[in-house]
Amino acid sequence: MTTTWTTRYGGSPAMMDSMTQEDLREEYLIPAIFAPGEARLCYTHVDRMIVGGIVPAGGALQIGDGAEVGTDHLFQAREGGIANLGRGAGTITVDGTAHRLDPRDILYVGRGAREVMLESDSAGTPAEFYLNSVPAQVDHPTKVITRAESKAVTMGDPAKANLRTLRMYIHPEVSPSCLLLMGITDPAEGSVWNTMPPHTHERRMEAYVYFGMSEEDRVFHFMGRPDNTRHLTVASGDAVLSPAWSIHMGCGTGPYAFVWGMTGENQVYQEMSPVAVRDLV
């Protein structure tokens, strides 16, 4: 088993003009987070969200160690959501209790969890676990939220190629947490745009991981202040950080889905500042 940690500091809007495409990618993109037999974890200084991919193949992987975050255990002062984005099922055992995750199920991990072991049913079709973890001050029990238990909301307009279904998993109306919000969005067939209208939410940061894309397809993920946007070209399994000041929206060249995770001052999903497309520069 290999566990690697990387770090992202998250820049400021003032830096955007001087950043090359490579600089932008180093600050806001976390590439290729899924690798068989590896845990690839990224400690971000954007509201201290940890973003990671864990793919157990040929044995269990453990992620309970807190050395990289300055606590005895990874979840000592944190909560987390772990989504299974693979084609195969898997099991996450938290302090001796096994939680089975089919594809598209999410495990909420409550603050205080010590030992977290992740396993795939099959090494050939492994579970691909995607982690968002953020600081927490409240205890909620660890539990699986299945795809069927998530709250589905359909939005958008096929005539504008942005019809999509959002599924809320870790959300006050579905399953409580301290400050983490997490869900999965699927554009409808033929719809290519996500997150319309583009928006900011000054009180929450957000991370996306794009997945389910073919080798040759890409999503163009837009970011930046509304009057100074840039884009990141994203492949399947790449995550992007969206600081609170940044707009976000994306357009894919083929089918894709993404997980969104947020944290900040509140959990009010609807608290966002939409920006009309005609006002984007």
Ligand X SMILES: O=C(O)C(=O)C[C@H](O)C(=O)CO
Identity of the residue, 75 or 169, whose beta carbon is nearer to ligand X in the bound complex: 169
Listed ranges 35-43, 122-130, 193-201, 229-237: which one lies at the site for ligand X (CB under 6 A): 193-201
Choice from 51, 248, 252, 264 touching ligand X (CB under 6 A) = 248
Q: How far is CA 144 from the centre of its chain?
A: 17
Nearer to ligand X, 178 or 244 (CB): 244
| C-beta of residue 108 within 8 angstroms of C-beta of residue 119 | no
- Give the Cα-Cα-Cα angle 203, 85, 29 (nearest 5 degrees): 50
Binding of residue 272 to ligand X (CB under 6 A): yes
Q: Should residue 47 be labelled a site residue for ligand X when binding is judged by CB under 6 A?
A: no
Q: Which of residues 203-242 bind ligand X (CB under 6 A)?
A: 206
- Nearest residue to ligand X, by Cβ distance, number only: 185
**3-state class (DSSP) for residue 26:** helix
The count of C-alpha atoms lying within 13 angstroms of the C-alpha of 203, restricted to the half-sphere facing its C-beta, is 12
Among 51, 166, 179, 205, binds ligand X (CB under 6 A): 166
Question: Which pair of structure tokens corresponds to residue 36?
Answer: 């068989």
Q: Is 57:121 a contact under the CB 8 Å cutoff?
A: no
164 binds ligand X (CB under 6 A): yes
Q: Closer to ligand X at the Cβ: 129 or 260?
A: 260
Structure tokens given for 159: 């005539």
- Tokens (6 digits) for 93: 């055992």
104 makes contact with ligand X (CB under 6 A): no
Residue 5's nearest CA partner among 49, 37, 52 is 52
By CB under 6 A, name the binding residues for ligand X: 164, 166, 185, 194-195, 201, 206, 248, 260, 272
